[in-house]
Structure 1
Amino acid sequence: MILNEVKALLLHEAQAIQNIPATDDFEKAVNLLHQQIHERRGKLITTGMGKAGQIAINMATTFSSTGTPSVFLHPSEAQHGDLGVVQENDVMLMISNSGKTREIIELIDLVRGLHPNIPIIVITSNTESVLAEESDVCISTGNPKEVCALGLTPTTSTTTMTVIGDVLVVLLMKKINFTNADYAKRHHGGYLGDKSRKAAGLK
């Protein structure tokens, strides 16, 4: 009985991933990231509240380890001085399932008050939201139904957000020709550091 439920839950999550709209917004986002970070020497700033914020933290660390300098900016802490991390050539990646998260909407005004032309990439389930309308590029999660028994807890939505982040990371790695040697320089410790050095022929 439980195994059948496990299989059903896994199928639900897998189908949600397959239903993420594969649009040219992915290419637009990658080109924008490359332009701002690898051509203009800015950085990626990810942000989100709650569970989306945890996904944004993961994205920032993954981008950083694969050659794209990134930091996470907590939208509430931004109102208490952390906004100073934002620089002219940076690009924002904002994550909000509803596209209506108050702290994220407020952050847009704060960031643009500091740097009016900063580009914004949004990941959301609501492509008609205020956040989506304010973005330069909007990537849809496909608005999946949460696998949570109550239909409330961010579960399937965070799965699709994570996958979208992974896709962007891999596409950008290919665009900048990121190598094992490059990875080893940024990830020296642990199993992955050892594996990347061996793959690159380094000690």
Structure 2
Amino acid sequence: MKDLIKQVIEDEAQAIRNIPVSDGMITAIELIYERVHQRKGKLVTSGMGKAGQIALNYATTFSSTGTPAVFLHPSESQHGDLGVLQENDVLLVISNSGKTREIIELIDLAENLHEGLPLIVISSNPDGVLAQNADAFIFTGNPKEVCLLGLSPTTSTTVMTVIGDALVVSMMKKIGFTNEEYAKRHHGGYLGDKSRMQAKTDKK
């Protein structure tokens, strides 16, 4: 069993190392910066199932690091939640297959509400419907799932998480995000205390 565990860790680590660093990532960062930090819109993330959980993590991490973001559930969007979208926003969707029905429907509805809303797509399928409609496409590298059945989202969600971290850290660098600004957004707990202490150190 230990050998299996070691192999899973090694396979996922290799999948991370194989993530293509593409122009799509740079375009995505520029789109988020323009829409959120220049036009004062927000980042709206979405995904279905496990990808949706990753998209929610994107939204909370971006928000805590100076880039306002919200998660929009693709199914709930058809029951009124689509109204969270505003004309200066940017939509980021995650779909491993690149053809998730609920996500395809979401981008159609978003286009009908605000024509020309920029779309960032993270997917393992560069030939999918979503990739073809993207203003910025980020390829995951299409890693093989470590799930013994090859079905359950495992390796794919790992690389999606790392891609999100890369986007977040890049945006923090671009906007010059500081400990002081972090503390304003994260008051409670250990991280709140640590950010305030580091902010005091920065001022010395």
Normalising by structure 1, we get a TM-score of: 0.98
Alpha-carbon distance between aligned partners in 1 of 2:114 and 2:23, rounded to the nearest angstrom: 27
The letter for the 2-side match of 1:32 is L
* Identity between Structure 1 and Structure 2 (%): 68
Q: Which sections of structure 2, spanning at least 5 residues, go unmatched?
A: none
Report the aligned-residue RMSD. Answer: 0.7
Alpha-carbon distance between aligned partners in 2 of 1:128 and 1:137, rounded to the nearest angstrom: 14
Residue aligning to 2:85: 86
Q: Indicate the larger mover: 22-31 or 148-157.
A: 22-31
1:107-118 counterparts in 2 under 5 A? 107-118=106-117
The letter for the 2-side match of 1:161 is M
Alpha-carbon distance between aligned partners in 1 of 2:26 and 2:83, rounded to the nearest angstrom: 29
Residue aligning to 2:103: 104
Alpha-carbon distance between aligned partners in 2 of 1:59 and 1:14, rounded to the nearest angstrom: 20
Residue aligning to 1:123: 122
Secondary structure of residue in 1 paired with 2:74: coil
The letter for the 2-side match of 1:79 is Q
Alpha-carbon distance between aligned partners in 1 of 2:29 and 2:174, rounded to the nearest angstrom: 8
The letter for the 2-side match of 1:169 is V
Aligned residues: 201
Residue aligning to 1:140: 139
Alpha-carbon distance between aligned partners in 2 of 1:136 and 1:31, rounded to the nearest angstrom: 11
Q: What is the CA deviation profile of residues 41-77 of structure 1, one whole-angstrom value per residue up to 9, with x for unaligned ones?
A: 0000000000000000000000000000000000010
Q: Which sections of structure 1, spanning at least 5 residues, go unmatched?
A: none
The letter for the 2-side match of 1:189 is G
Alpha-carbon distance between aligned partners in 1 of 2:113 and 2:147, rounded to the nearest angstrom: 39
Alpha-carbon distance between aligned partners in 2 of 1:3 and 1:102, rounded to the nearest angstrom: 39
Secondary structure of residue in 2 paired with 1:178: coil
Residue aligning to 2:155: 156
Residue aligning to 1:40: 39
CA drift at 1:171: 0.1
Secondary structure of residue in 1 paired with 2:33: helix
Residue aligning to 1:195: 194
The letter for the 1-side match of 2:100 is T
The letter for the 2-side match of 1:166 is D
Alpha-carbon distance between aligned partners in 2 of 1:29 and 1:131, rounded to the nearest angstrom: 15
Alpha-carbon distance between aligned partners in 1 of 2:49 and 2:3, rounded to the nearest angstrom: 31
Q: What is the CA deviation profile of residues 140-199 of structure 1, one whole-angstrom value per residue up to 9, with x for unaligned ones?
A: 000000000000000000000000000000000000000000000000000000000000
Q: What is the CA deviation profile of residues 61-95 of structure 1, one whole-angstrom value per residue up to 9, with x for unaligned ones?
A: 00000000000000010000000000000000000
